[in-house]
Amino acid sequence: MLCSKLKNRIDKLLDAVFKVKKQLFTRVSTSDLNKAVREWVDDYPVPAAKGIRYKIRYATQPEVFPTRFILFVNRSDRFPDAYISYIKNKIRKRFRLTSIPFDVEIRETKSGREDE
């Protein structure tokens, strides 16, 4: 009886290990990520702050291990932390990254237009 309980616990532990390993090496294509980000921004636009409009130009996943995503935006200064958390939670849910930590980084990119 003790052996069967131990075996069940080991089986559950191994299932969890394989789940984490799969998530650690999950690669999200740039096109899938950008389609999802556009959808999320349409549902809940980035809030403006003090007359500054923020735009997410595109997103990418440059690294798998450690898992990291980069959002390229028109302005990185004072980009709302709450919105980064929103995007992070959406990534976690959509791409099933529920068991691993990952980072979402903001980088500013210039469009060539001064009004943005």
pLDDT over 90 at 6, yes or no: no
**pLDDT per position as a tens digit, 33-80:** 999 999 999 999 999 888 889 999 999 999 888 899 999 999 988 899
Number of domains composing the chain: 1
pTM score: 0.83
Query: Can you read off the two tokens belonging to residue 24?
Result: 């650690």
Q: Which residues constitute the domain of residue 64?
A: 2-108
Q: Over range 6-24, report the average pLDDT.
A: 85
Q: What is the DSSP letter of 77?
A: T
CATH number at 42 reads 3.30.300.20
Rg (CA), the chain: 19
**6 within some domain:** yes
Pairwise CA distance, residues 69 & 28, whole Å: 9
**115 within some domain:** no
Q: Could you give the C-alpha distances from 106 to 3, 64, 81, 94, in angstroms and in order? A: 50, 17, 10, 20
